[in-house]
């Protein structure tokens, strides 16, 4: 099988994970190319909702070799982060090809063929830096075909204009759902949150220090110590802000990414946002919830999360319960030689910090062959 071009390494995805890996490979003088589906690096970040702000502090949200400018606040905005990504490409002169949508990553002997809508490329090694945002989780909801209103995933939401006075149901209380719901309520929408299992809510910062920094500093402590710290923080939060307004989930804040900050909680407590249980089905004009109550809605926003974007691999790797590829370490495929994953590690230290860590590890693995 012949291909138009061949590279030692092809990186799929031109977001933070792809750029960080590219910089690490360039530092090691390994020829490679980064394929970005959009018309600029960081395409996905460029198209997220306008008001998005990082929950992670800027000191633990950088890519290898470059800090944020001093004027950027401790919690960078989406615009700040996109500008950082574009500057990163320029500073390190990264080899990015835009407008290249990868449709398949296939075996070709001991190497790979990366198929795009603009032609095929050959590679000895492939790095999947595709993350999760390009693969929104769309739940199957009974009656969706008869609902006459608008249904969208949170990844399609941009700004609150056009929602004023409308009855909006936000399904899911993760960080995106919490931010979108509270923003809409602040701009005059009638917002209801559909909550299935509840949420652990933690402050974004303690005494002016980002909670992520504290968690990071404690990462080597035994889990029992970290759990006790989380319990104390939760108790202090209740004493200061009152009893929780969201149900407690069956897992703790160390077991899954919590709801960070009190924007949603404050809106619920003040009565600007209503809380309902899970959606049982959609009707022509709204929703019937699992408690049997029916309410009318104009718009439904599914803040139901994302799954790892692995579709180009076509089932060539096994995955865990959350859909992430099985790896022998943090980055190396357990199933395919010459296949690596960056941007697929998520925990309380932050996705961007994990990208910085994993990009170096993947580049080192590739260097060793």
* Distance from chain centroid for Cα 304: 12
Buried b (16+ CB within 10 A) or exposed e, 263-293: bbbebbeeebbeebeebbebbeebbbbeeee
Assign 192 a pLDDT band (cuts: 50, 70, 90): very high
How many residues are there in the chain? Answer: 369
Residue 80 in this model has a pLDDT that exceeds 90: yes
| Whole-number CA gyration radius for the chain | 22
What pLDDT shows up at residue 1?
42
Q: What is the mean pLDDT of residues 224-238?
A: 89
**Is there a shared CATH topology between the 5-135+306-368 domain and the 144-302 domain?**
yes
What pLDDT shows up at residue 349?
84
User: Can you tell me which residue has the tokens 């299935």?
Assistant: 196
Percent of the chain with pLDDT over 70: 99
Which sequence spans correspond to the domains of the chain? 5-135+306-368, 144-302
Assign 4 a pLDDT band (cuts: 50, 70, 90): low
Residue 2 in this model has a pLDDT that exceeds 70: no
| Dihedral of the alpha carbons of 175, 258, 214, 341, in degrees to the nearest 10 | -80
Domain formed by 144-302, architecture: 3-Layer(bba) Sandwich (3.50)
- Phi, psi angle pair for 301, to nearest 5°: -110, 120
What pLDDT shows up at residue 237?
84
Helix (H) or strand (E) holding 239: helix 223-241
Q: What is the mean pLDDT of residues 291-310?
A: 96
Short-list 324, 345, 308, 203, CA closest to 265: 203
What pLDDT shows up at residue 318?
97
| Tens of pLDDT, residues 129-166 | 999 998 999 999 999 999 999 999 999 999 999 999 99
State the CB neighbour count (10 A cutoff) for residue 16: 28
1 compared with 67, residue with greater pLDDT: 67
Assign 66 a pLDDT band (cuts: 50, 70, 90): very high
State the CB neighbour count (10 A cutoff) for residue 106: 15
The CATH class given to the 5-135+306-368 domain equals alpha beta
Q: What is the mean pLDDT of residues 191-198?
A: 94
Average pLDDT, the chain: 94
- The pTM of the full predicted model, rounded to 2 decimals, is 0.92
Short-list 73, 42, 100, 137, CA closest to 352: 42
Short-list 200, 208, 202, CA closest to 237: 202
Percent of the chain with pLDDT over 90: 84
């Amino acid at each position: 099988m012949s291909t138009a071009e061949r590279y030692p390494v092809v990186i799929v995805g031109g977001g933070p994970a792809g750029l960080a890996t590219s910089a690490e490979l360039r530092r090691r003088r390994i020829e490679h190319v980064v394929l970005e589906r959009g018309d600029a690096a960081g395409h996905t970040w460029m198209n997220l909702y306008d008001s998005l702000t990082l929950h992670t502090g800027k000191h633990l949200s950088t890519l290898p070799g470059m800090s944020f400018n001093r004027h950027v606040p401790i919690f960078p905005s989406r615009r700040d982060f996109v500008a950082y990504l574009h500057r990163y490409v320029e500073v390190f002169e990264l080899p990015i090809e835009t407008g290249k949508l990868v449709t398949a990553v296939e075996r070709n002997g001991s190497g790979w063929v990366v198929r795009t809508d603009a032609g095929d490329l050959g590679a000895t090694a492939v790095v999947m830096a595709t993350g999760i945002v390009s693969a929104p989780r769309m739940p199957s909801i009974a009656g969706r075909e008869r609902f006459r209103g608008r249904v969208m995933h949170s990844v399609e939401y941009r700004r609150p204009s056009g929602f004023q006075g409308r009855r909006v149901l936000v399904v899911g209380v993760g960080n995106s759902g919490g931010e979108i719901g509270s923003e809409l309520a602040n701009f005059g929408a009638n917002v209801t949150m559909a909550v299935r299992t509840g949420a652990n809510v933690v402050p974004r910062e303690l005494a002016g220090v980002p909670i992520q920094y504290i968690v990071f500093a404690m990462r080597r402590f035994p889990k029992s110590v970290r759990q006790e710290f989380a319990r104390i923080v939760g108790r202090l939060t209740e004493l200061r802000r009152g009893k929780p307004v969201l149900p407690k989930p069956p897992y703790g804040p160390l077991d899954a990414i919590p709801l960070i900050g009190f924007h949603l909680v404050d809106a619920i407590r003040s009565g600007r946002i209503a809380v309902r249980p899970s959606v049982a089905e959609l009707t022509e004009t709204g929703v019937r919830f699992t408690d049997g109550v029916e309410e009318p809605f104009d718009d439904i926003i599914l803040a139901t999360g994302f799954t790892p974007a692995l579709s180009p691999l076509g089932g060539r790797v096994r995955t865990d319960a959350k859909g992430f590829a099985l790896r022998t370490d943090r980055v190396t495929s357990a199933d395919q030689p010459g296949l690596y994953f960056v941007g697929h590690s998520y925990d309380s230290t932050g996705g961007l910090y994990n990208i910085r860590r994993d990009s170096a590890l993947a580049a080192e693995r590739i260097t060793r062959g």
